[in-house]
Amino acid sequence: MPIRRNRSKLMSPTTLTLLASQTLNCSLPTIHNSLMVSYNSNNLTLPTEATTPITLQLKTIASGSTFNLTYIQVIGLAKTNYDIFAKHKNDICRKFEHVLIQLFNSLKRSLSLIENLTQILHHFDYSPEVHANGYRTLILSHGHACLRTLEILKQVKAKHIARLHRRIHSLKLLQELKSWTKTLKVMEHMLSLAVGLVDCSDKHSLFTDFSQIPSNIELDYYKMVAYDSKHLFGRTCGFQFNRSMEILLTIILASFAAYYDTYNRSKTAAAASLATSSKYILFPEQRARKCAEILRNCDYLFCQSFWNLLEHDSIKKGSRYIAPNVTVSKYFQIGPEPIEINSIIVPPPTGPSSMQSKQLVNIKLLSHEIREGMDKLSLQRADLEGSPKIVLPMSDQLLMHVHGGGFIATSSATHEVYLKPWALGLEIPIVSVDYSLAPEYPFPRAIEECFYAYAWILQNASKLGWTGKTILFAGDSAGGNLITVVTIKAIEAGLRKPDAIVCFYTPFLLRYSMSPSRLMAMMDPLLNTNFLWRCVAAYAGIQCDGESHNDELSSTRVSTDNRFDEMQASNSKRLSPNQQVLDNKNKPPSKESSTIDLHHDRLTQIVGPRQLCILRKLSESKLLDHPHMSPLCVSDEILRQFPTTYLIPCARDPFIDDNIEFARRLRSLNVPHQMTIVDELPHGYLDFGIVARDVGENNARVIHMLQNIVRKSHSNDIADLTSALTITS
């Protein structure tokens, strides 16, 4: 559907300014009337079957996406309530009066910043027809926070002033209003940083290297990361997502805080502490302070330990009763012999020691029914979750899946909540790779294991019930990064490349860079900025004082450094010459040593010595520039050979900019691709389908979309797909 703007329902900037001035007797900045493409959480436009190029498909832009009326109502009610409370002298009214002044002033400043941003949004869109980028997401999130604040202001006005005098009736509303005002002030700071990013960007890339960011903006950013998150994990936690997700995110954060209280005890005691997390649910301010403290001070081992609770036996047993059963669920190991395909040798993964078992790769086969050839895997009764009804012929399609988890946590077992429905819905074999996790096995171990698994699948197709005709890749988050890198390695090695890849909310750039969507990580309960830094550091083999684990790990990191030196010579050839922002050649000269020392001292005071050590090593690491770490840095020569690529990012995810930039590069090279942007759902939503109805409905639509992809691959229609984008949730 072509883009249409319903101008009859949109207020012009002049009308908005006039109405606001009449309502408040003050002048407001002009608000432009197209801020963000709207999304419909109930309708998913799927790719249509066609043998001709697919045109761009978008929803009609709705008037509500501009939040013009919301801003007028919020500021109007703020002034109305202020006038009422100003007439009274009691303590409660004074507190309301003070908060309303803060709200009023913050909104005025924010609207001015939004005005500045709306003038440049089009520079960073996927295309002139498709409006999506991190700047738009920031503005959209600010508008949603204003909507929630409006609800509180309406409740305040609805209460009779005599009742508000009574503490029991007023304190809750006062606390709610305080929380939303603080959240809007944080959003104001984020908008201000976004304006600063625009000033130091080249108007063509959403990413800016930290070396190109002025020191004052950098310091402001770190201050926000260190101190402002406590205002975002309390009563307003997850406001940017669908409301059905707020309860789930609150429970996750409460469990996060409770687990930390007993982290140094036994694992059983720590897991049991989750049952006592109710205090962090009932007292949101206490939860917010605790979570902010944890994220500021903990190391990645704690984050890894928390998310690996999903691997606990009791949770695994419980998930078996929730996820549907498939006929075949076999977990086995492959290797360690080298694999030869068409004179191409794929070596086994290099282990950190001489232990043979460390060079094996763990994979899991899921299939809705037994297929011919699977008997070669010696299926046992334990490998069958249901009674086989029939032995089906070999499938023409197979899906290779790589799970997410920040490169440091989870496994194929924890992702079965959506993998098993995929196996049942797609009716093709699925092979999920259980790669070794960082920090024990840093880069490039996970890539080596996934690439080795891919070669093994190609060589042993019949054992998997597959004819060898069509193979598809799918991965979420870190898994999406890994399947993209495996595709790059296959092209570089001359090995058969997959017929299509499907990447869910994938980070394509791990370089130490800034983008507007990365700012959203400060308010993301699941993908917080501190967590991102630690995951990347662990994956890159970066360690600071007090974080060593064992000699084996240390030797692994030395090996990683040496192997990177060998890869670095070819890296310069891979980098695209026209990628100005992604090329380190354009970094400005170093600052004077005295300025650097002062800057270092200030950063130490803000983030602490351990965090500063991580940030410094991330900024100095050349490894993060390598295409096998950051696929966005791959050369045009390699990217031009990519198979059909499906990108499915989340609109309010810190990685939306990664996907926009990657899609823009695919489009510029005429690589068949489709991008489906899911709104109102958080990073990792595929795993939440069993606990949130809206997510479950969306996951059902994902299966429908995957069915279309499989159907296209079967009829050889994938090559006919051209650049297409669908906005949905």
pLDDT in tens, 338-395: 999 999 999 999 865 444 456 899 999 999 999 999 999 988 888 888 778 789 999 9
Together in a domain, 356 and 495: yes
Q: Is the dihedral of CA 266, 269, 274, 278 positive or negative?
A: negative
**Residue 549, domain member (yes or no):** yes
Together in a domain, 195 and 311: no
370 vs 723: CA distance, rounded Å: 37
**Residue 291, domain member (yes or no):** no
Q: What is the mean pLDDT of the chain?
A: 81
595 vs 621: which has the higher pLDDT: 621
191 vs 36: which has the higher pLDDT: 191
**Residue 158, domain member (yes or no):** yes
Which domain range does residue 161 map to? 7-33+63-199
Together in a domain, 544 and 680: yes
H or E element in which residue 23 lies: helix 13-24
Give pLDDT, residue 10: 30
Which residues, including other chains, have CB under 8 Å from residue 597's CB and lie 6 or more apart? none
Q: Is the pLDDT of residue 576 over 90?
A: no
**Residue 518, domain member (yes or no):** yes
652 vs 648: CA distance, rounded Å: 12
Give pLDDT, residue 162: 52
**Residue 449, domain member (yes or no):** yes
The tally of domains found in the chain comes to 2
Together in a domain, 362 and 492: yes
**Residue 356: left (phi > 0), alpha (psi -120 to 50), or beta?**
alpha
**Residue 311, domain member (yes or no):** yes
**Residue 263, domain member (yes or no):** no
Residue at which a domain ends, from 166, 199, 232? 199
Query: Of the given ranges (186-190, 207-211, 353-357), which has the lowest mean pLDDT?
Result: 353-357
**Residue 162, domain member (yes or no):** yes
Pair 107, 146: CB distance under 8 Å: yes
- Cα 295 to Cα 241, 291, 309, 341, distances in angstroms: 21, 6, 18, 46
Residue at which a domain ends, from 168, 199, 230? 199
Q: Is the pLDDT of residue 24 over 50?
A: no
CATH number, position 508 = 3.40.50.1820
Together in a domain, 410 and 531: yes
685 vs 476: CA distance, rounded Å: 10
Q: Is the pLDDT of residue 578 over 60?
A: no
What tokens were used for 310? 């999903």
Q: Is the pLDDT of residue 558 over 60?
A: no
H or E element in which residue 503 lies: strand 500-504
